[in-house]
């Protein structure tokens, strides 16, 4: 059975593999297709496509947008992004500027806690967009935290001593923006944060009216019960199904490309069904 992974990250955002290295790992894992879905950027897509062509791997151009709700963050994937994404790029530029301001503010809070850390050190650890994983890496390297996980728990995660909330779009704005570009809009790992199921179901119903096209049912952090609930919501609201590992390389060391924590399997026919949905709407694949 051929397998795919429709949710991955590279060092263009907060992963640790270059897009080319990601494709090499996908080839070694025997994956037939990979979606590259970096946070708030498309900077790694051309390199991933070029490497994928050489290795015989289908690359789906994508990105992941963070959105804000009354319960917290909800992530939205855009799959099959076109090359001309001017409206999205404008919004992504704004979000990246806000991310820079947030990084600066968190570093200032850490310095106020007595930690000898600078924004220049953080930037030196990143190749693409700078974010909390890069701050965490510096904290671990300088001995202020045992590892990246502890850096998040004590300082950078929600409730941490240096945490600052992220500026984010509303879910309906993100969905309409991506759908307007002709992307397949997918609700990423909806059961990850354990928000109330009735509220989530209402959100799925609402977003399906704005252009939401699929739900990520298979994910490294989803239980079998979570997957079944996603499948049921997709059936109820006429949506497609997607799945991926949410691979970040060394920044999420327990999650491996294509297999998540070891038990993830997303078959090729998941991709084929999403493609059939696109063709039925006259969209390119």
pLDDT in tens, 159-194: 999 999 888 899 999 999 999 999 999 999 999 988
Helix (H, G, I), strand (E, B) or coil at 64: strand
Q: Where in the chain is the domain with CATH 1.10.150.650?
A: 92-156
pLDDT at 209 over 90: yes
Half-sphere exposure (Cβ direction) of 192: Cα atoms closer than 13 Å: 18
Confidence tier at 1 by pLDDT (50, 70, 90) = confident
Per-residue pLDDT band for 9 (boundaries 50, 70, 90) equals: very high
pTM of the model: 0.86
> 127 pLDDT exceeds 80?
no
Q: Range(s) for CATH 3.20.20.140 in the chain? A: 3-89+171-280
Helix axes 197-208, 224-237, angle to 10 degrees: 40
What pLDDT does 248 receive? 96
Rounded (10°) angle between helices 171-180 and 197-208: 30
Alpha carbon of 226 to those of 71, 189, 221: distances in Å?
18, 9, 9
Q: What's the chain's average pLDDT?
A: 95
Give the Cα separation of 263 and 255 in Å (integer). Answer: 10
Asked whether residue 128 carries a pLDDT value surpassing 80, the answer given is no
Neighbours of 199 (CB within 10 A): 12
Query: Strand ranges (DSSP E) for the chain?
Result: 3-8, 31-36, 58-69, 72-79, 184-187, 212-219, 240-244
The hierarchical CATH code for the domain 3-89+171-280 is 3.20.20.140
Enumerate residues 6+ apart whose C-beta is below 8 A from 186.
6, 76, 77, 78, 79, 212, 213, 214, 215, 216, 240, 242
3-state secondary structure of 33: strand
Contact 139, 23 (CB under 8 A): no
Q: Confidence class of residue 67 from pLDDT cuts 50, 70 and 90?
A: very high
Q: Which CATH class is domain 92-156?
A: mainly alpha
Q: Determine the pLDDT at residue 140.
A: 94
């Amino acid at each position: 059975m051929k397998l795919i992974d429709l949710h991955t990250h590279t060092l263009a955002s907060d992963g640790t593999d270059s897009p080319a290295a990601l494709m090499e790992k996908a080839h070694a894992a025997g994956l037939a297709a990979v979606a590259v879905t970096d946070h708030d950027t498309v900077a790694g897509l051309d390199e991933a496509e070029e490497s994928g062509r050489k290795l015989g791997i289908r690359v789906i151009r994508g990105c992941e947008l963070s959105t804000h709700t009354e319960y917290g963050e909800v992530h939205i994937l855009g799959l099959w992004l076109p090359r001309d994404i001017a409206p999205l790029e404008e919004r992504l530029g704004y979000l990246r500027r806000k991310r820079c301001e947030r990084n600066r503010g968190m570093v200032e809070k850490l310095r106020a806690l007595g930690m000898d850390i600078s924004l220049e050190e953080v930037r030196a650890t990143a190749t693409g967009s700078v974010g909390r994983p890069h701050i965490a890496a510096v904290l671990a390297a300088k001995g202020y935290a045992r590892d990246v996980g502890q850096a998040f728990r004590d300082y950078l995660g929600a409730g941490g001593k240096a945490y600052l909330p992220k500026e984010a779009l509303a879910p309906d704005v993100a969905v309409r923006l991506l759908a307007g570009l002709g992307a397949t809009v997918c609700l990423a790992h909806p059961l990850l944060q354990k928000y109330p199921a009735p509220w989530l179901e209402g959100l799925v119903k609402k977003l399906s009216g704005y252009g939401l096209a699929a739900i990520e049912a298979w994910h490294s952090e989803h239980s079998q019960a979570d997957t079944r609930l996603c499948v049921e919501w997709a059936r109820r609201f006429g949506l497609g199904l997607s799945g991926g590992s949410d691979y970040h390389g060394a920044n999420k060391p327990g999650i491996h490309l294509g297999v998540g924590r070891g038990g993830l399997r997303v078959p090729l026919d998941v991709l084929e069904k999403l493609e059939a949905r696109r063709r039925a709407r006259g969209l390119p694949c």
